[in-house]
Chains A and B, each alone.
Chain A
């Protein structure tokens, strides 16, 4: 079914409300979404650009799907293997095609999804659809290159492991989760990375279960004609058989008590404190969740009272920030700070707690909330300036919801959040029972 949304020009009828309401879309481009019979979802966003197209293949599988013991980091490793080619276009041929068209191509992985992206000139669209549809359906590699690539992944781990935040994230996720796969990072545990060369058979099964059309969203933005583009998509992707097998991800039981931990960084660093609270999965209809998205910025953003106090006035910390992520399952809502003196760690921690208590007890000033809403709108709009930025900015939404219609829902709900909603979110999420606190300290002074 071809669904056309005319962005600002179209009024959405919210039939479920029993009356006719008018809403505007914050998303400024009209887009076309179509789902093929095999389940492949295609979102096309024509926009003016100098003959350029961004082509994003969003696989709704990430490190979250690594359910088997000993397989942490495998989705990331598999992202590497996707560049190994097929019988029709072996890796070196695939590479030379990408090179000859001068495409800017790469991939990345997160907890919830894996994204393969390519920017190229519009005249190469069919060539790109050909090679991309081919590797997603017919990936083929021998055991030797598979094992060699495991070495490159280990190299990536070694490159990252010198960063304090790599160790900190590893620790807080491991400590905060008991059974859910958010227990491990996207990179995975070192022991599992070391064992990757032995997982050839598993990699074939991984491909069969997850790299299926019904688990993938294509986002194509830029200088495209949607009618001819969807015809090409059908031509090249229709033969792909559905067959996604959802992983059995164990839900994380509610946390009942605070957890604390320390981690030693083998180099020299100022201490970092990371405070995580079990949050909620992304749901635009969950008012508490939407309010929490705003609360993070209000309480710990760069014009928050605490930021001004700790960073600018007292200068006790190098930085203070928060992360309220949008995830398929329940993530950690985190507040973190790099502290200048070890003796101040507890003071900083208590200041963060005190701030959260204030938000539980006192509604935020209306004008502060409005400033943030305005900021979010402009930030979103100013980020939509190139096909790559548009497609890239939508990838997570496509991954966690299967499409991008949710953008309007999300911004509609954000607009409605009131000061009492912020109080409610603060009370719900930022409790001692949901909390995990990790402090990282450098070994060398």
Chain B
């Protein structure tokens, strides 16, 4: 019997397709369907329209913890241990992803196991138990992340968190998804029950379903989810942030072996619009994520060997150190332009900051060249083919299309725009959305005071190398080392690392 089962599933995988051919995305008000004939798996993505922006004041981190209390905890029918036991032989799981504006409960199972998997997945959403012991365990993990991991284990992630917190301070975007230490400590089961009741409603949900499912499953899903209350919570306005005036620098003081730098400013352009795709071409040339084609990478890493990589973004890109391609379901109505300089030697921090800003300024002032433009749009047209090879990823993009009201598919539009957009469009987008005068900079480093002094005085920052460099590099270094940043003293603040994420 077992042998027959194995043969059957092997043949099914043999027939499995990952092709988009014959696949049709159906999008309705509250569901996105992506049937894939012959896919032997089923992918679920349930999007609840809630995120960290909905955290009540003093309860920062509540959206994230509530979602985890659904997926990493007991339900009314099963203890957390029982759930782990039941999921184990299926090699399946379900998880929650909480970002600023979205919470997605997602999971995937083999068709063979759908009858075992489905009730567990649905129970997690419909009948969470909200037990104190589960909350204690989850809070302990979040606190360990805030108190230790984020402050010490990855200075580049720390720099990015500080950048976003500074830019959006005082707004609904003004804290990271994990929240703050004091707020997380204060979260109670009642907070979670209230949050769940308010936001986990039928009218606040978009069902994403993909893969080799049968029609009857969709109907069952709809029937079962009718158990959620019908009310839709009031949506909140996108954040009104305080304009940045000049170059503002937030220095995190710690005993760092190298200096991590992130910088950026808000931009008012979203995917789905022609301007966004035009800006995407310029951004790809300047700093394609984890790609040696990035110009910043060429200048700072390739020619000068200062770090592991240098990139730029026009959309939020969490976990950049671990991902090669963009994540899904981290949509935001308010995006920032962001430059990420991976840790550089402490003694060259000023030089590297200057080098990055100088290259950005050159692009903003001069625009792209015809050659660079043509190479980059050709690159992107094919590169986006790699963005979503699996049903689960395509389902993620389909939900994102709904978030951004993209007419059709972002990935298809992306490819189409690479044929339509002109160099003039790109350079116009650069001038419209990018500027070099007003920017927030976040730096994680040691001897913060001396860096502050160097910045404020625009002290020259000559660089020396342990090994020879070409004359052209050394000549350019002279210009970089005195490139004026004009940072005002009042625009620099220094925060000891232990003071971050406290409240």
Would A267 and B151 count as touching, CB distance under 8 A?
yes
Complex-state Cα separation, A155 to B310, whole angstroms: 12
Residues of chain A within 8 A (CB-CB) of B20 are 50
0/1 string, B439-458, CB within 8 A of A gives 1: 00000000000000000000
0/1 string, A126-158, CB within 8 A of B gives 1: 000000000000000000100111111011101
B365 within 8 A of A: no
B324 within 8 A of A: yes
- A84-132 interface (Cβ within 8 A of B): 95-96, 98-104, 106, 119-121
Of the stretches B140-148, B189-197, B223-231, B275-283, the one at the interface is: B140-148
Residue of A121, A158, A375 contacting most chain B CB atoms (<10 Å)? A158
Among the listed B10, B152, B378, which residue makes an inter-chain contact with A162, where contact means beta carbons less than 8 Å apart? B152
Would A148 and B305 count as touching, CB distance under 8 A?
yes
Complex-state Cα separation, A150 to B110, whole angstroms: 46
B21 within 8 A of A: yes
- B293-310 interface (Cβ within 8 A of A): 293, 301-308
Would A197 and B382 count as touching, CB distance under 8 A?
no
Residues of chain A within 8 A (CB-CB) of B390 are 385-386
0/1 string, B116-156, CB within 8 A of A gives 1: 00000000000000000100110011001001110111111
Would A158 and B151 count as touching, CB distance under 8 A?
no
B11 within 8 A of A: yes
Would B469 and A162 count as touching, CB distance under 8 A?
no
Would B389 and A388 count as touching, CB distance under 8 A?
yes
A24 within 8 A of B: yes
Residue of B14, B84, B345 contacting most chain A CB atoms (<10 Å)? B14
Among the listed B6, B88, B144, B257, which residue makes an inter-chain contact with A158, where contact means beta carbons less than 8 Å apart? B257
Of the stretches B89-97, B165-173, B328-336, B400-408, the one at the interface is: B89-97
Among the listed B148, B305, B389, which residue makes an inter-chain contact with A151, where contact means beta carbons less than 8 Å apart? B305
Nearest chain-A residue to B41 (Cβ)? A382
Q: A104-B324, A121-B382 are in contact. Are A147 and B147 (CB under 8 A)?
A: no
Complex-state Cα separation, A121 to B293, whole angstroms: 18
B467 within 8 A of A: yes
Residues of chain B within 8 A (CB-CB) of A386 are 18, 389-390
B466 within 8 A of A: yes
Complex-state Cα separation, A371 to B467, whole angstroms: 57
Residues of chain B within 8 A (CB-CB) of A158 are 257-258, 307, 343, 345
Complex-state Cα separation, A444 to B88, whole angstroms: 38
Among the listed A24, A147, A318, which residue makes an inter-chain contact with B140, where contact means beta carbons less than 8 Å apart? A318
Complex-state Cα separation, A106 to B384, whole angstroms: 16
A179 within 8 A of B: no
Residues of chain B within 8 A (CB-CB) of A338 are 144
Among the listed A104, A150, A266, A379, which residue makes an inter-chain contact with B383, where contact means beta carbons less than 8 Å apart? A104
Would A101 and B88 count as touching, CB distance under 8 A?
no
Q: A48-B18, A155-B306 are in contact. Are A102 and B257 (CB under 8 A)?
A: no
Complex-state Cα separation, A159 to B151, whole angstroms: 14
A269 within 8 A of B: yes
How near does chain B come to A442, taking the closest CB pair, in angstroms? 7
B255 within 8 A of A: yes
Would B467 and A148 count as touching, CB distance under 8 A?
yes
Complex-state Cα separation, A103 to B292, whole angstroms: 12
Complex-state Cα separation, A384 to B390, whole angstroms: 10
Would B380 and A102 count as touching, CB distance under 8 A?
yes
Complex-state Cα separation, A252 to B140, whole angstroms: 41
A312 within 8 A of B: yes
A235 within 8 A of B: no
Among the listed A29, A49, A155, which residue makes an inter-chain contact with B307, where contact means beta carbons less than 8 Å apart? A155
A349 within 8 A of B: no
Complex-state Cα separation, A320 to B380, whole angstroms: 42
0/1 string, B13-45, CB within 8 A of A gives 1: 110111111000000000000000000110000
Would B305 and A269 count as touching, CB distance under 8 A?
no
Would B144 and A315 count as touching, CB distance under 8 A?
no
B344 within 8 A of A: yes
Nearest chain-A residue to B260 (Cβ)? A159
How near does chain A come to B485, taking the closest CB pair, in angstroms? 22
Complex-state Cα separation, A312 to B83, whole angstroms: 12
How near does chain A come to B139, taking the closest CB pair, in angstroms? 10
Residues of chain B within 8 A (CB-CB) of A385 are 16, 18, 41, 389-391
How near does chain A come to B24, taking the closest CB pair, in angstroms? 14
Nearest chain-B residue to A29 (Cβ)? B14
Q: A83-B292, A148-B469 are in contact. Are A378 and B91 (CB under 8 A)?
A: yes
Would A150 and B305 count as touching, CB distance under 8 A?
yes
Residue of A99, A147, A268, A312 contacting most chain B CB atoms (<10 Å)? A99
- B93-125 interface (Cβ within 8 A of A): 108, 110, 112-113
- B182-216 interface (Cβ within 8 A of A): none
Would A150 and B92 count as touching, CB distance under 8 A?
no
Q: A24-B6, A28-B14, A100-B375 are in contact. Are A312 and B137 (CB under 8 A)?
A: yes
Complex-state Cα separation, A338 to B141, whole angstroms: 11
A302 within 8 A of B: yes
How many chain B residues sit at the interface, stated as a range, is 35 or more
Would B386 and A119 count as touching, CB distance under 8 A?
yes
Residues of A within 8 A of B (CB-CB), count: 77
Would B88 and A303 count as touching, CB distance under 8 A?
yes
How near does chain A come to B376, taking the closest CB pair, in angstroms? 8
Q: A375-B88, A381-B110 are in contact. Are A147 and B468 (CB under 8 A)?
A: yes
Complex-state Cα separation, A152 to B342, whole angstroms: 10
B470 within 8 A of A: yes
Q: A148-B303, A267-B152 are in contact. Are A378 and B19 (CB under 8 A)?
A: no
A374 within 8 A of B: yes
- A192-243 interface (Cβ within 8 A of B): 197
- A298-314 interface (Cβ within 8 A of B): 301-303, 308, 311-312
Residues of chain A within 8 A (CB-CB) of B254 are 267
Complex-state Cα separation, A311 to B448, whole angstroms: 39
Residues of chain A within 8 A (CB-CB) of B385 are 50-52, 102, 121
Residues of chain A within 8 A (CB-CB) of B302 are 148, 152
How near does chain A come to B284, taking the closest CB pair, in angstroms? 9
Residues of chain A within 8 A (CB-CB) of B19 are 48-50
Residues of chain A within 8 A (CB-CB) of B344 are 155
Nearest chain-A residue to B418 (Cβ)? A102
Q: A161-B257, A269-B152 are in contact. Are A152 and B6 (CB under 8 A)?
A: no
Residues of chain B within 8 A (CB-CB) of A401 are none
B495 within 8 A of A: no
How near does chain B come to A122, taking the closest CB pair, in angstroms? 11
Residues of chain A within 8 A (CB-CB) of B92 are 378, 382
Q: A267-B151, A378-B90 are in contact. Are A24 and B113 (CB under 8 A)?
A: no
Q: A8-B10, A104-B383, A266-B255 are in contact. Are A155 and B18 (CB under 8 A)?
A: no
Would A102 and B307 count as touching, CB distance under 8 A?
no
Nearest chain-A residue to B473 (Cβ)? A148
A424 within 8 A of B: no
Nearest chain-B residue to A48 (Cβ)? B17
Nearest chain-A residue to B470 (Cβ)? A144
Would A302 and B84 count as touching, CB distance under 8 A?
yes
How near does chain A come to B13, taking the closest CB pair, in angstroms? 4
Residues of chain A within 8 A (CB-CB) of B306 are 151-152, 155
How near does chain A come to B73, taking the closest CB pair, in angstroms? 10
How near does chain B come to A274, taking the closest CB pair, in angstroms? 16
How near does chain A come to B319, taking the closest CB pair, in angstroms? 14
A323 within 8 A of B: no
B268 within 8 A of A: no
B221 within 8 A of A: no
Residues of chain B within 8 A (CB-CB) of A268 are 147-148, 151-152
Nearest chain-B residue to A370 (Cβ)? B89
Other A-B contacts than A102-B379, A155-B301, 5 sampled, CB-CB below 8 A, are A24-B6, A24-B10, A382-B110, A385-B390, A386-B389
Q: Provide 20 A-B residue pairs closer than 8 Å at the C-beta atoms, listed in order of the A residue.
A: A48-B16, A50-B385, A102-B381, A102-B384, A102-B386, A147-B466, A148-B467, A155-B306, A158-B258, A159-B156, A161-B257, A164-B153, A197-B466, A267-B148, A268-B147, A268-B151, A381-B10, A382-B41, A382-B108, A386-B18
Give 3 closest A-B pairs by Cβ, nearest first: A102-B382, A151-B305, A267-B152
